[in-house]
Amino acid sequence: MSDTALDQGAADAATTDSAAARLKSFVERIERLEEEKAVTTADIAEVYSEAKGTGFDPTIMRQVIRIRKMEQADRIEQEELLALYKRALGMIV
């Protein structure tokens, strides 16, 4: 085997080790974030449960939160379409 082939093999190993270390770092970061997400999800569920215990409807609260995330123009368009569909189906008098 030539010196060039040996040098190339060493470079490949270093690159592979570096890539493996980087991959491991990404995976570990994602795992930590997934753990944090699980804790946050549990916290959110607890708040919904608390709200339900005081008489609020969690399903409606989720809808309100989804609507609040929307841009105003998108929200208005959606509300207008919903009203149009309801009228077409005889759901609005």
pLDDT at residue 74 tops 60: yes
Whether the CA torsion 27, 32, 35, 36 is positive or negative: it is negative
pLDDT at residue 49 tops 90: yes
pTM of the model as a whole: 0.66
Q: How far apart are CA 14 and CA 22, in angstroms?
A: 12
What does the pLDDT read at residue 69? 96
What does the pLDDT read at residue 14? 63
Exposure of 43 in the CB half-sphere (CA atoms within 13 A): 6
| Greatest distance between any 2 Cα atoms in the chain | 88
| 92 within 8 A of 83, measured Cβ to Cβ | yes
What does the pLDDT read at residue 31? 98
